[in-house]
């Protein structure tokens, strides 16, 4: 469904590559977690799938098509097969939930009766039945993310990309969102989710692809989040935290799976 | 539904950017009024030419007694010389000249007396003070130079005169006015393009979130850009309609109602001419908007 072949992405000439020789193959119907420290290239990975960016080297295939060489006027066709959700929901604040979801269909020219039928169904599916008339500001964070997910899947995409969808939510709400994504995945939709949420990853036990400085360092079929780097460097007994040299991280030994 | 949706976007955009839209309307209004004024001036000139050039002729003045012109060394033009000139006209200038007639001194005096029955500025002239001439009606008034070339310098011809020359100062004035109007129109049109560009850009920025989502869900480029295009085009077309209306009113009240009544022997531009110019103004407005959009849209609403 998604295949990266030796993909490198360098944003600015001379800069360190955001992705470096990445090769990943995601099958139809899979659920993949994309994990890694901040700046490791997770969002870049997703934007290459969306063709918001083009790879500097290598090939990205989405649903059998070479995305990098897709001509501009075909990009909309590609994106209609993809759904995306973000950490910040990106709902239009001046539209109701219903209008937000309908918007995604309107702008690709779906007929009105189709919109009238599908939008309530999808709202129902994501657990927002009866909340279609609310404005985004009248929803909780979890509900807003459900609305965003509804918008992403209303056109029945084959692939759902999620960039830290639970990043702004508390653990309980996050769990609800994960159940929803899991349910969507079980209907046959391929889901790729970038996340920092170790609890979720450990709980779900799905395929985990870990990036580190743009390199795939782990690709595990039923993996866990892996070890976190210490938030504060272990400075031992040193009484002065910001003494010279304390900023350099102690090398962390993590056990990498296959 | 697509159409309705786009229209809805257009009007919400227009509402959000009211001041800018009003500015675009006004600037296109003023600039296209100048364009229209220039066009109408040209129409007026061609009307006058049509009207007046039919009345005027080329006069081939024949040598009078005592002329100092070198071709008149033999004194007053003889019948033989006149015949020779007529011969040349008949053979070499058949295409250019449609009619020739000879005006004798007596006929010239008659015409003169008719025009000035009380004598010209107090002098009393006789037929002998007049000059015989060949009057040529040209099939195309613009061919004067050819005719003049052929006939000047022939024996017995003192001078070849184009009566059109009388109108030249007026036409020159009208042409200068046209240039002025066109120049101002050019400057204003530039301002209009810049303003439309800015308006589209502002509109695009204020709807960045919408366009961002449209891009992500796979709306086509045309669909994303159409509202902006239409917004600019609508404002510009409104301006051009105002310009057409303004010109119509000006012609109706200043030319048809006033000028035509005070100086009635001149053919003036009429409302019909305005109606002929107005569609061009609308087309220009659309072109302006298209040009501005072309420069802006690809930068601000790219896939
Ligand atoms: N549009 C861009 N232009 C230039 N550099 C960029 C751009 N987007 C990302 N980068 C750089 O690419 C690298 C990878 O960024 P990316 O956003 O993919 O990381 P990430 O894994 O999503 O991080 P986070 O977990 O914080 O979201 C970073 O060094 C970042 O600075
Ligand atoms: Mg990111």
The domain ranges of chain A are 90-156
B38 lies in the same domain as B174: yes
Share the mean pLDDT of chain A.
88
- Shared domain check, B291 and B178: yes
Residue A49: closest CA among chain B residues belongs to which residue?
A: B216
pLDDT digits (tens, 9 = 90+) for B250-273: 988 888 888 777 776 777 888 888
What residues form DSSP beta bridges with B83? none
Q: Residue B94 burial by CB count (10 A; 0-12/13-18/19+): exposed, middle or buried?
A: exposed
Q: Which helix (H) or strand (E) holds B279?
A: helix B271-300
Confidence of residue A187 (pLDDT cuts 50, 70, 90): very high
Domain shared by B183 and B279, yes or no: yes
Give the ipTM. 0.83
Q: What is the CATH number of the domain that holds B73?
A: 3.30.70.3040
Of B212, B213, B303, the CB nearest to A75: B303
Q: Rounded to the nearest whole angstrom, what is the distance from the C-alpha of residue A75 to the centroid of ligand 2?
A: 22
Give the tens place of pLDDT for each residue, A99-108. 999 999 999 9
Please say which residue of B163, B191, B218 terminates a domain.
B163
Indicate the residue among B140, B163, B186 that finishes a domain. Answer: B163
* Same domain as B215, residue B97: no
Distance (Å) from the C-alpha of residue B45 to the closest C-alpha of chain A? 50
pLDDT tens for residues A51-110?
A: 999 999 999 999 989 998 888 889 999 999 999 999 999 999 999 999 999 999 999 989
User: Residues B44, B173: one domain?
Assistant: yes
Q: What are phi and psi of A176, to 5 degrees?
A: -60, -45
Q: How confident is the model at residue A247 (pLDDT cuts 50, 70, 90)?
A: very low
**CA A85 distance to own-chain centroid:** 7
Q: What percent of chain A has pLDDT over 70?
A: 88
Range of the domain at B230: 3-52+169-300
> Does pLDDT of A119 surpass 90?
yes
In chain B, residues 216-255 whose CB comes closer than 8 Å to chain A: 216-221, 223-224
Claim to verify: residue B114 and residue B34 sit in the same structural domain: no
Indicate if B75 and B39 belong to the same structural domain. Answer: no
Residues B197 and B231 in one domain: yes
Average pLDDT over residues B188-205: 85
Hey, are the CB atoms on B210 and A92 less than 8 Å from each other?
yes
Closest-approach residue (CA) in chain B for A50? B216
Q: What is the mean pLDDT of residues B127-139?
A: 83
Instruction: Inform me whether the pLDDT recorded for A188 exceeds 50.
Output: yes
- Cβ–ligand 1 distance for A42 under 6 Å, the answer yes
Same domain for B61 and B40, yes or no, is no
Q: How many CB atoms lie within 10 A of CB A96?
A: 18
Which of B118, B141, B163 is where one domain is finished? B163
pLDDT at A242: 52
Claim to verify: residue B35 and residue B177 sit in the same structural domain: yes
Q: How confident is the model at residue A246 (pLDDT cuts 50, 70, 90)?
A: very low
Is A90 within 8 Å of B210 when comparing Cβ atoms?
A: no
Q: Are residues B146 and B173 in the same domain?
A: no
Quick one: B131 and B45 in the same domain?
no
For residue A236, the model assigns a pLDDT of 53
């Amino acid at each position: 469904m998604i295949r990266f072949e030796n993909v490198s992405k360098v944003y600015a000439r001379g800069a360190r590559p955001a992705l470096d020789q990445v090769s990943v193959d995601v099958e139809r119907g899979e659920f993949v977690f994309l994990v890694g420290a901040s700046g490791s290239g997770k969002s870049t990975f997703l934007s290459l799938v969306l063709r918001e960016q083009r790879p500097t080297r290598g090939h990205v295939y989405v649903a059998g098509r070479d995305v990098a060489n897709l001509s501009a006027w075909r990009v909309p066709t590609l994106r209609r097969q993809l759904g995306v959700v973000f950490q910040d929901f990106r709902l239009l604040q001046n539209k109701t939930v219903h209008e937000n979801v309908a918007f995604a269909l309107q702008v690709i020219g779906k007929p009105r009766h189709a919109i009238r039928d599908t939008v309530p169904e999808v709202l129902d599916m994501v657990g927002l039945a009866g909340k279609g008339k609310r404005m985004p500001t009248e929803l909780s964070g979890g509900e807003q993310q459900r609305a965003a997910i509804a918008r992403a899947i209303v056109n029945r995409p084959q692939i759902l990309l999620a960039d830290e969808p639970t990043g702004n939510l508390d653990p309980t709400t996050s769990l609800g969102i994960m159940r929803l994504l899991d349910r969507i995945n079980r209907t046959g939709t391929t889901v790729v989710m970038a996340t920092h949420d170790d609890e979720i990853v450990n709980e779900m036990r799905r395929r985990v692809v870990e990036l580190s400085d743009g390199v795939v360092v782990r690709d595990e079929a039923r993996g866990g989040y892996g070890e976190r780097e210490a938030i504060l460097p272990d400075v031992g007994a040193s009484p002065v935290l910001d003494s010279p040299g304390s900023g350099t991280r102690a090398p962390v030994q993590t056990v990498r799976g296959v | 539904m697509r159409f309705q949706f786009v229209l809805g976007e257009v009007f919400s955009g227009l509402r959000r950017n009211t001041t800018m839209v009003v500015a675009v309307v006004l600037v296109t209004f003023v600039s296209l009024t100048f364009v229209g004024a220039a066009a109408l001036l040209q129409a007026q000139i061609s009307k006058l030419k049509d009207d007046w050039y039919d009345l005027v002729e080329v006069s081939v003045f024949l040598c009078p007694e005592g002329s100092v012109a070198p071709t008149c060394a033999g004194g007053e033009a003889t019948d033989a010389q006149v015949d020779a000139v007529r011969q040349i006209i008949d053979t070499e200038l058949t295409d250019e000249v449609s009619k020739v007639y000879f005006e004798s001194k007596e006929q010239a005096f008659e015409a003169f007396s008719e025009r000035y029955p009380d004598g010209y500025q107090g002098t009393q002239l006789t037929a002998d003070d007049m000059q015989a001439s060949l009057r040529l009606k040209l099939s195309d008034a613009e061919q004067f130079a050819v005719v003049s070339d052929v006939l000047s310098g022939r024996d017995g011809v003192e001078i070849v005169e184009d009566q059109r020359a009388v109108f030249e100062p007026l036409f020159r004035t009208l042409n200068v006015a046209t240039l002025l109007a066109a120049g101002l129109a050019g400057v204003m049109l530039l301002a209009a393009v810049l303003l439309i560009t800015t308006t589209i850009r502002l509109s695009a920025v204020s709807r960045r979130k919408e366009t961002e989502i449209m891009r992500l869900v796979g709306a086509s480029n045309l669909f994303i850009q159409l509202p902006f295009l239409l917004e600019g085009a609508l404002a510009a077309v409104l301006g051009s309609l105002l310009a057409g209306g303004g010109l119509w009113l000006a012609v109706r009240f200043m030319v048809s109602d006033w000028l035509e009544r005070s100086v009635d022997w001149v053919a003036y531009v009429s409302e019909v001419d305005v109606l002929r110019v107005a569609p061009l103004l609308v087309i220009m407005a659309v072109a302006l908007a298209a040009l501005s959009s072309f420069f802006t849209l690809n930068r601000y609403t790219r896939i």
